[in-house]
Amino acid sequence: MGSVRRGLIVEKRIKLFFFLVALLLVFLTITQVQNMLISTLFAVVTYNLLAPVVDFFERRGLSRTLATVLPFAFMTAGVVVAVVVLLPSLLDQLRSLQAHFPQYQKSALDLLHQLEEKLGQTVGNGTTLPIQARIEGQFSHLAEVVFQQAPEYVSSSLAILFLAPFLSFFMLLNGRDFLRGLLSIVPNQYFELSQNLTHQITSQIGGFIRARLIESIIVGLLTWAGLEYLEFPNALVLAIFAAIVNIIPYLGPVLGFLPVLLIGFSGGGYSSELLWAGALFLAVQVIDAVILVPFLVAKIVDLHPVVVILAILVGSQLMGIVGMIICIPVVASLKVTAAALFRHFTGFRSSQDLII
């Protein structure tokens, strides 16, 4: 009996070792290979967006391969149409934004200078607040990031553009088999726990990503339509930016409005155009909070606002704006994992609620 027990322990250790090595290899590949982290993130988002469509086609009797190829064909066609229709306008607006940036910067700094003077007078005699000097440095940094580093991002984004769909295609086609293969080397003792954890994390994060993405697309479309109606300059670029940063809870809507504020001030202070744009952003946020969030996002990932804020702070410190966007799904996964582990290891052993 003793030799059997020793054999079991050795087998368990070997399996656990191979499972951890496999996990480590996956982690290292994602984090260390160039462009792999961003490509994987995009692939996960695409996977979660298309998985219900693939399942739908499969339910209609198509094979898994055909059910995966079809949505990809539709998506590619959609991207091509969007690029053909929107890219010229988007490039024009980006060039115009780049050309006018010094003017926007100057107007905003003038306004801040006036504000600084007024505040100085209000606070006390001769007191000066160094707001302008601080913000000026931030503006220069922002311009450098947006207009000088952007081409570098574009060159790496070409790699991402090919790698992300490639990864998501195989995630949809064989992702479950891959996970099953990975779980097959988990020792028997941890098999039920790992299977349960994988299911909980994938279903919660999948729902969260889909909800947030649909929410952002609707926010972007509403903002674009509104800004075009107001004939606000660079409406498409501003709407895309607002849609992307809207993913960041609480802070996103404010960040999305900042460029609008900057452009609005270049018109010489509080113009009616700026006020209408402000009202538009407010209305979109009300629609988001009253209609979209309760229907799409609420109850999918239940995190306390303080946890959300702390997660955003940590995310921004570690990875900047990308960190702010991905921190919530990461924290949600950690919460689901911790809750499942806690339940598994501390489950009370009373006769109540027992099943076989």
Partner 1 sequence: MTDFMWDNFFRRNQNEKDLARVLQKNFLFQDLNALELHLVERIVNIRHYQPGEVVFRQGDVGVGMYIITKGVINIYVEEIIPETGAQKMTHITQLKQSEFFGDLALVENNGLRSASAVAQQECELISFFKSDLLEVTNRNPTAGVKILLRLSEILGTRLRQTTTRLSELNPKPTPTGGSR
Binding-site ranges for partner 1 (CB under 8 A):
1, 4-5, 7-8, 11, 55, 58-59, 176-177, 180, 183-184, 188-189, 191-192, 195-196, 198-199, 343-344, 347-349, 351, 353-356
Give least dist CB 55 to partner 1, A.
Answer: 5
d(CA 174, CA 176): 6
Lookup: tokens for 153: 């991002």
Q: Which is nearer to partner 1, 47 or 265 (CB)?
A: 47
Identify whether the C-beta of residue 263 lies closer than 8 Å to the C-beta of residue 234: yes
Least Cβ distance, residue 4 to partner 1 (angstroms): 5
| Residue showing tokens 């689901």 | 336
Compare residues 106 and 199 and give the one whose CB is closer to partner 1. 199
Least distance in Å: CB of 98 to partner 1?
Answer: 47
Name residue, tokens 């229907």: 295
Where helices occur in 60-187 by DSSP H, the ranges are: 64-123, 131-143, 150-184
Please identify, using beta-carbon distances, which residue of 11 and 92 lies nearer to partner 1: 11
Task: Single out the residue of 313, 333, 299, 190 nearest to residue 248, CA to CA.
Answer: 313
Q: Which contacts (CB < 8 Å, 24+ apart) does range 157-166 have?
A: 159/34, 159/35, 159/39, 160/35, 160/38, 160/39, 160/42, 163/35, 163/36, 163/39, 163/43, 164/38, 164/39, 164/40, 164/42, 164/43, 164/46, 165/43, 165/46, 165/72, 166/43
**Beta-carbon neighbour count of residue 146 at 10 Å?**
14
**The two three-digit tokens of residue 183, written as one number:** 């779980």
| Least spacing, CB of residue 88 vs partner 1, in Å | 41
**Could you tell me the smallest distance in angstroms from the CB atom of residue 9 to partner 1?**
10
Closer CB to partner 1, 141 or 180, in the complex: 180
Q: Which is nearer to partner 1, 74 or 342 (CB)?
A: 342
| Gap between the Cα atoms of 314 and 310, Å rounded | 6
In the bound state with partner 1, the residue whose beta carbon lies nearer, of 31 and 196, is: 196
With respect to partner 1, which residue has the nearer C-beta, 128 or 203? 203
Quote the CA–CA distance of 89 and 240 in Å, as a whole number. 13
Q: Least distance (Å) from partner 1 to the CB of residue 329? A: 19
CB of 220 to partner 1, least distance (A): 29
